[in-house]
Structures are given as C-alpha cells and as structure tokens.
C-alpha cells in the first residue's frame, strides 16, 4: 500500500490534533510546534476514546478521558493508566499535501 493524501498541510492547526482515516484505520494527525507532522493511532489503548479529541503538549498527545499522554514519536504512553503503545505511521509532506501510509508503522526505541 502506498501513502495516501489525507489533508492539506494548511488544514492543520499547530498543536491541535486532527482525526483522519486511511484504509479504515483511524489516525490522529498532529502538527507540532516545530512544524513537524506526526501520525499515531487515534484510539487510546486504555479505552475506546479518540486521541485526536485530546490535548497536544509538546511532543505528546494526551487522552482527555483519564490523562495518559502518548509520545508522538514512539506511540508509547508516558504515564498510566494506559500501558500499551499506539502505532506510529509514516508521514510525508509533499508541498501542501500530507500523505500517510497506514501500513507502515515505525519502530522507534
């Protein structure tokens, strides 16, 4: 599967998450304060909550339900109650197009 265009870069608001879907996979897209775009799984691993409804804090996205924050780089929760990571997907920015490959999850240690 190749990367698919999910939105325009200009559609993204810095330090806010936006929910997109690629091939039925829900993804939280975040433009961080340094201008980098991240794509992580949108469903919190603690409960069936959309992470894109949560809060961006630096390089993490916090679930509004119980406060677990997930690293935008590794997908790992930085605090309880969640303890399982969400997937991290490859993002490409091509001009004003943001592309995500939902089949590629990045392993970051």
Q: Is residue 31 within 8 Å of residue 37, measured between CB atoms? A: yes
User: Is 50 among the residues that bind ligand FES (CB under 6 A)?
Assistant: no
The residue to which tokens 């309880």 are assigned = 80
CB of 37 to ligand FES, least distance (A): 23
Task: Report d(CA 69, CA 101) in Å as an integer.
Answer: 23
Given 46, 55, 85, 90, the residue binding ligand FES (CB under 6 A): 46
The gap from C-alpha 23 to its chain's centroid, in whole angstroms, comes to: 16
Please report, as residue ranges, which positions from 78 to 97 form the binding site for ligand FES (by CB under 6 A): 81-82
Closer CB to ligand FES, 20 or 68, in the complex: 68
User: Is 68 among the residues that bind ligand FES (CB under 6 A)?
Assistant: yes
The gap from C-alpha 47 to its chain's centroid, in whole angstroms, comes to: 16
Closer CB to ligand FES, 5 or 46, in the complex: 46
The backbone torsions φ and ψ at residue 51, rounded to the nearest 5 degrees and listed phi first, read -65, -25
Interface residues with ligand FES (CB under 6 A) are 44, 46-47, 49, 63, 65-66, 68, 81-82
């Amino acid at each position: 599967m190749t990367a698919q265009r999910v939105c325009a870069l200009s559609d993204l608001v810095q330090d806010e998450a936006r929910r997109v879907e690629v091939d039925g996979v829900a993804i939280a897209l975040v433009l961080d304060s340094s201008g980098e775009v991240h794509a992580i799984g949108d469903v919190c691993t603690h409960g069936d909550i959309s992470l894109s409804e949560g809060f961006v804090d630096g390089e993490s996205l916090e679930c509004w339900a119980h406060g677990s924050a997930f690293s935008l780089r590794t997908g790992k929760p930085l605090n309880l109650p969640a303890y399982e990571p969400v997937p991290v997907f490859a993002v490409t920015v091509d001009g004003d197009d943001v592309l995500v490959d939902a089949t590629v999850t990045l392993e970051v240690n």
